[in-house]
Amino acid sequence: MPRTRRRTVPLPSSFLDFFEHVCYNVHMNELLTRTICIKLDVTGHEAALQETQHRFNEAASWIATLCWEERITNTNTAHHRVYGETRSLFGLGAQLAICARTKAMEAVKAVRIQEAEKLARWRKANAHKKSKEKKPLPPPEPASCPHFRPHSSIRYDARTYRLLSLDRVSLNTIDGRIIARLLPGLRQHEMLEDPDWKIGGAELVWRNGTYFLHVTQSKDVPNVTPAEDAIGVDLGICNVATDSTGEQFTGAEVREKRSRFVARRAALQRVGTKSAKRRLKQMSGQERRYMRDVNHRIAKTLVQKAVVSRKALALEDLTGIRESVTVRREHRYERHSWAFFQLRLFLMYKAAWAGVEVRLVDPAYTSATCSRCGYCASMNRQSQASFLCQQCGFCCHADYNAAVNISLVACQAANSSSGTSPATSPLASAGGS
């Protein structure tokens, strides 16, 4: 992992001060949701679907713009404000107009929430700088209204689409109902026929000239297995993930492959010929799919380990790290393409399926604190990979030390919430040494 230029901050004076940072559990939804991607054969209905797609997304963009300018975030208020005009201006049916409003409002709410969270982080950082009499940070750029492209997806609910026998589906369009043929594989067939999952809405997605139907299914969340101990997971670039049992998921191969993807794209873009552009189109999405596969395999391994050991999973909450940490120009692509949040999402939903509890921990000082004696100092971190405590002489891999600290924070929080006294908690004995 490249060395970053961090601004100097005061370190906590003791191990127990370090564990006063926030640790909270991830509250799962009451329902588990999964999506089945099925290829569609829409022969003879391409024109109707394309026209519906364009009008639907044009309507969704108009609704989003209007609600953004009038600062409408309530769904019922938005419905009464835009329903009639949506049907008259864009020629959509009643349910398609409602689906367009739903899609637009979800996007507007998501952007507003992200804007509020970014503003809260900026105020917190400025308050810290003001207490240290340092130059304040510039305010974040205001968020922009969401917009949908003509080929964006169409939202369908239970009234606008229906799965039929013989792998057929009925879809609502501006020209009425059409019947398209589903082309599912064996895995998709098994998932659609699974009686434990309830079929919900769907999205019609156009990708590279082919239509896909993304069918959602849901079922009740299994009971979470209570666990006192937790497996800490430290996320990084040199090592994608390191857990508190000592297992490392190295990022050397990931960095090598991603650097080759970047170099290959840059070389083809410099050439600029038709064949080069054709090759770029063929390469589109390869890096993203590779990183997605890596994160899936890591998440599956960690969740399986938690199930076997009957422990919870503890992750560091890295929200806003790209704004708070600066790197050199040559390392910017590597840092900004770091897919840590995707790995966190994969871990959370796989853990929910397996009934494993997930806890998020404030990552502050996890790399600078000794997991054995609790001494905290920036000099403890000798290099990216080396940790040497300046007080007790404990030496280990820096990522493993951080993972153990994350595990200890999660255990401390669990013991405190369950009424365990500090004298019997595993951190009290460490802090007193």
> Are 228 and 65 a contacting pair, CB within 8 Å?
no
Closest-CA residue to 172 (of 286, 96, 263, 62): 96
pLDDT at residue 431, as a whole number: 40
State yes or no: pLDDT of 322 exceeds 60. yes
The phi and psi torsions of 432 (rounded to 5 degrees) equal: -85, -10
State yes or no: pLDDT of 23 exceeds 50. no
Pairing of strands 210-220, 31-41: antiparallel
Q: For Cα atoms 294, 296, 299, give the angle at the middle one, nearest 5 degrees.
A: 110
pLDDT at residue 426, as a whole number: 34
Which range, of 1-10, 77-86, 134-143, 377-386, averages the lowest pLDDT? Answer: 1-10
State yes or no: pLDDT of 281 exceeds 70. yes
pLDDT at residue 432, as a whole number: 37
How large is the average pLDDT for residues 282-294? 90
pLDDT at residue 124, as a whole number: 85
State yes or no: pLDDT of 421 exceeds 50. no
Instruction: Give burial (CB, 10 Å; 0-12/13-18/19+) of 353.
Output: middle
The model's pLDDT over 116-125, given as tens digits with 9 standing for 90+, comes to: 988 988 888 8
Round to whole Å and give the CA distance between 242 and 319: 19
State yes or no: pLDDT of 279 exceeds 80. yes
The model's confidence at residue 206, banded by pLDDT at 50, 70 and 90, is very high
- Please report, for residues 112, 172, 212, 214, the alpha-carbon distance to residue 179 in angstroms, rounded to integers and kept in the order given: 38, 9, 14, 16
Burial 224-257 (b: 16+ CB within 10 A, else e): beebebbbbbbbbbbbbbbbbeeebbebeebeee
pLDDT at residue 29, as a whole number: 54
The model's confidence at residue 63, banded by pLDDT at 50, 70 and 90, is very high
Task: Kindly state the DSSP code that residue 384 receives in the 8-state scheme.
Answer: S
**Fold that domain 15-29+225-252+286-431 belongs to in CATH:** Nucleotidyltransferase; domain 5 (3.30.420)
Domain coordinates in residue numbering, the chain: 15-29+225-252+286-431, 32-128+142-220
Round to whole Å and give the CA distance between 244 and 122: 32
DSSP string, 108-144: HHHHHHHHHHHHHHHHHHHHHHHHTT-PPPPPPPPP-
Which region holds residue 133: left if phi is over 0, alpha if psi is between -120 and 50, else beta? left
What type of residue is 31? L
Which region holds residue 208: left if phi is over 0, alpha if psi is between -120 and 50, else beta? left
